[in-house]
Amino acid sequence: MELLEIILISVALGMDAFAVAVCKGLSMRKMNWQKAIQIALYFGGFQAFMPMLGFCLGSRFETIVVSIDHWIAFILLSIIGGNMIKEAFNKENENCNDDTSFKTMLMLAIATSIDALAVGITFAFLKVNVVIAVSLIGMITFVLSVVGVKIGNQFGDKYERKAELAGGCILVLMGAKILLEHLEILNL
């Protein structure tokens, strides 16, 4: 997997955190940079930790599933991306308050990084440099979260659904690309 693909996956994974950060910013009366950094640290940290955990799990079972790894990557990325696309069209507002307590942020960080766990599993099968991948995922999610809080505070929920939709589409397309390359239908 090339660096550009890892960056695209990082951005796609960060879109869930971005959407929740927009919601957090929306609920703030005045922009609070300390809360924005706190939110970004939770989201960025968990987005980096979960793919590392997934990578460890995937590496452990690699010999069992090596012949179908491309299908696993395709299915996982498609399911995650499909769920993000579905959520983009869901009209319910989620977690729109500015609470940054440990319990609240822990729950949100885990919820927004579950998909990163599954992506980490696919990294093991694709022989991705996990240190570079998790570093990029964490840093990009951190930046997207700070930007999300600021955008939410400034513009409301105008971009929340678009970010979720874009992230979902990127993951589905990356999954399709992995499958097509492995089946030698697409050689880029």
70-125 tens-digit pLDDT: 787 788 778 877 887 887 787 665 546 667 889 888 888 888 888 888 889 888 88
Residue 150 lies in a domain: yes
Give the Å distances, CA to CA, from 17 to 59, 138, 176.
26, 11, 24
Residue 72 lies in a domain: yes
Give the rounded percent of residues in the chain with a pLDDT score beyond 70.
89
Give the rounded percent of residues in the chain with a pLDDT score beyond 90.
29
Residue 63 lies in a domain: yes
Whether the CB-CB separation of 13 and 79 falls below 8 Å is answered with no
pTM score of the predicted model:
0.73
Q: What is the pLDDT of residue 102?
A: 92
Residue 35 lies in a domain: yes
What is the span of the domain harbouring residue 120? 3-182
Residue 188 lies in a domain: no
* Residue 16 to residue 92: CA distance in whole angstroms: 15
Residue 173 lies in a domain: yes
Domain tally, the chain: 1
Residue 187 lies in a domain: no
Residue 141 lies in a domain: yes
Confidence of residue 187 (pLDDT cuts 50, 70, 90): low
**pLDDT tens digits along 129-158:** 999 999 999 999 999 999 999 988 887 656
